[in-house]
Amino acid sequence: MLKKRNRLRLSLIDPKGTSFRVAEQEDSVVAPKTLMHPRKLLQKALASPNNLRFADVCGLAEAFGFRLSRTSGSHHVFVHADVRELLNLQDVHGKAKPYQVRQLLQLVERYNLSLGGEK
The CATH code of the domain at 33-110 is 3.30.920.30
pTM: 0.70
pLDDT digit string (tens) for 20-70? 555 444 444 454 455 689 999 999 999 999 999 999 999 999 999 999 999
Confidence of residue 77 (pLDDT cuts 50, 70, 90): very high
**First-to-last C-alpha distance (Å) of the chain:** 29
Start-end of H helices in 17-111: 38-47, 54-63, 98-110
Q: If 0-12 CB within 10 Å is exposed, 13-18 middle and 19+ buried, where does residue 115 land? A: middle
CA–CA separation, 69 and 102 (whole Å): 20
CA gap 61, 115 in Å, rounded: 9
- Dist. CA 21–CA 119, nearest whole Å: 54
- CB–CB of 55/3 below 8 Å? no
